[in-house]
Amino acid sequence: MTYVALGVAAWLFVIGAYGMVTSKHLVHLCICLIVVQTSTYVLLSAIGFRAGATAPVFYDISLSTPAVDSVVQALMLTDIVVEATVAALLLALIVQIDKRTGTVDPNKIDLMKG
């Protein structure tokens, strides 16, 4: 189970990076970056995973119930927040690039042009 999750994390990372390399649209590139970042959620969840354990929420279960690692889950939450902010900033930058260069194709943008 853990190995499957680790494989999925690697696959998400590589497929997202491939999308970024071959991207022809900046918004597409931004989404691909989000896919790359998604791989870290899977990786973190896989590290904290224990077979047969529940979520670390002891609302209606006793403290002795085996639960998965809460620390990596908290890290993952931080990761999601950072991803959202990165996406917002990148999209704002893309709007600006479109205004200034008139194109959103990363192969055609000439940022050095005044």
What part of residues 63-102 is at the interface with another protein (CB under 8 A)?
A: 63, 67-74, 77-78, 80-82, 84-86, 88-89, 91-93, 95-96, 99
Distance of CA 63 to the CA centre of its chain: 32
Interior angle at CA 77, CA 84 and CA 20, nearest 5: 45
Nearest-angstrom CA–CA distance, 112 and 96: 15
Cβ of residue 64: shortest distance to another protein, in angstroms? 9
Least distance from another protein to the Cβ atom of residue 66, Å: 8
DSSP notation for 33-47: HHHHHHHHHHHHHHH
Amino acid (1-letter code) at residue 18? Y
- Nearest approach in angstroms of CB 99 to another protein is 6
Q: Retrieve residue 2's tokens.
A: 């853990």
Rounded to whole angstroms, how far apart are CA atoms 76 and 103? 35
Binding flag, residue 13, another protein (CB under 8 A): yes
Q: Which of 8, 27, 31, 49 binds another protein (CB under 8 A)?
A: 49
Which residues contact another protein (rule: CB under 8 A)? 2-3, 6, 10, 13-14, 17-18, 21-22, 48-51, 55-59, 63, 67-74, 77-78, 80-82, 84-86, 88-89, 91-93, 95-96, 99, 107
